[in-house]
Structure 1
Amino acid sequence: MNRILLSALVSMLAVGCGKAAVQTHAAVAPENAAPAVVEPWASVDADKAPAKDADKPREVGDYVVYRFSGSFQKAPITLTERVVARDKDALVLDVVLDDGQKKHELRVRTSEAQATQGEILSVERIEKGNLVPMPAADYEALMAKTMLIADSNEAELGSEEVTVALGDAKIPAKQTSFRVKVGGRDATMRTVVSEKFPWGDVAGEIAADGDILYRAEIVTVGHQEAPAKPTTTPAVAESDYDDYE
C-alpha cells in the first residue's frame, strides 16, 4: 500500500452521466454541517460505538468535505463531494477541489453496480453553467494534487480497532501503520478505513521525524436538500472551508 490519497477516494469520485440532465439549482454550500471529530489514533472498544446513520448508502443531498494538508503542499487542499442524482446503477456527484488558488468544479459519474462499484464512468467540468467533457488525464492530474506517493512500503507495523466520530454518529474503523520511504526519508504511514463509511477511507497520515508530510482527514459530513427554486447554474458542492474551521 503506497498510495495515500485515502485510496478508495479516487475511485469513488465519479459523476457525470451522458443521460443526466444539467441540474439548474444555485451553487449550494452545506449549512449547519455536522463537524467530523476524527480521533483515529486512540484505540477503543468498537462494540461501544455503533454505526448509526453513517453507514447508510449515499443518497441525493449527502455530502462530505475532505482536507489534505502537510508539507507536501504549500497550502491545504479541500475536496467537497455532494450527491446530486442517481441514474440506475450510477451515482452522480458535484465535486469541488479548492487548492488555495482556484476552485475546480466537476461533475463526476461513478458506477454503483456490484461488479464495477466505484469505477469512474465520466467526468465533466462545470464552466459558466455548462458541462464540458474532461479528459481522463486532466482529471487524474487534478486528483494527484491530493496525493503523496511513498517511494516504498517496507513493512506493516500493526493494526488496531478505533472509533471515528462523525457528527453525532460514531463508527468502528481499523487503523493500520506502515514503515515507508518518502523522498529517501524513513517515515510512518497510518491509514484509517471503515466498511461502515460509504464515502471511502476515513483518514491517512505520513510523518517523518515529527514532520507531517501528508494528512488526509474529514472536515464535515452531512445531508442538505437542494434549493426548491431552480436558477440557471448547476448545483455545485461548494467547499467553503472557512466555515468549518
Structure 2
Amino acid sequence: MKPKIYMNNPVLAGMTMKDPALPEANNMALHSCRDSKAILENRRALAEWAGVPLSRFVLAGQTHSDHFHKVTTEDFGRGADRADTAIPDTDALYTFEPDVLIGSFTADCVPVIFSDERTGLIGVIHSGWQGTIKEITPKLFRHLRDLEGCNPADFRVQLGAALSQEKFEVDRDVYEKFKALGYAGDFIDYNDATGKWHIDNQKTVETQLLQAGIPAGRITIDRTCTFKSPDGFSYREDKKAGRHLSFIVKKKS
C-alpha cells in the first residue's frame, strides 16, 4: 500500500493508485468490484498505512450531484465496510473532526482535496463533468465561507489525478453545457477530424476555485491522466474499472 501523497503533517492527504500486485489492483470501491472482501482488504491496508482505523473512515454514496455533507462524530464508520451505510446522494464531504479519514472515489473524475490551515477544516469533492457543470466546488466553498467562517485565502487545495483533456472527448451536448458556464472556453478544443470536443475538466475546476477566491499559489494539480497512466483506473477506458480513493485526515497534534 503506497498511496500518492499530496499533503503531510499535520494533514495527511493522498490518492490510492492502481497496483496489479494488490487485490483487484487496489480497487477501493464496494460499488464497483468483483469481490467485496478484496476491497475491504485494500481499505484495511490503507487504514493501517494511514494510522486511522477503518471505523473512523467516512465515505459517500456518490451520484454526480452538487450535494455536500458535514461529517460529525455520529458519522464515523459510515460507508467504511458497507456501501449501504455510506452518506447517501452526496459528492463532497468536509469536517472539523480530527483523526477521521474522509474520501472520494474516482476513475477519471476530478478529486478536489482541501484543508483550511486556520480553522482545521478538511474536505474532499468528487467533480466529474456533471459535478463541474453543476458547480459543486464553488457551491461548497461559498458555503464554507458564509456558514463555516472560512477565509478562501487560508485554503490549500489539491486536484488529484484525472482524465486528461486529450482523452476527455465529448459530443455537442456536453460541450454546450461547459460552454454555458461562461469561463470554460479556454479549456475546450474542437477536433475537426472526429467532430468531437476535448475538455480540460481539471483546469475548469481550477478556474472555479480561483473564482471562489482561492489564491493561485495555493492550488496544485496532479496532471497524471487516469486513462493513459498504468497507475490509473479509467471508467472511460473500461466501464468495469475499479476506483481510486482520494482521502484526507487531520491528525491530532
Same topology, TM > 0.5: no
Higher fraction of helix: 2
TM-score by structure 2 length? 0.27
Q: TM-score, normalised by structure 1?
A: 0.27
- Higher RCO, 1 vs 2 (CA within 8 Å, ≥6 residues apart): 1
1 or 2, which has the higher strand percentage? 1
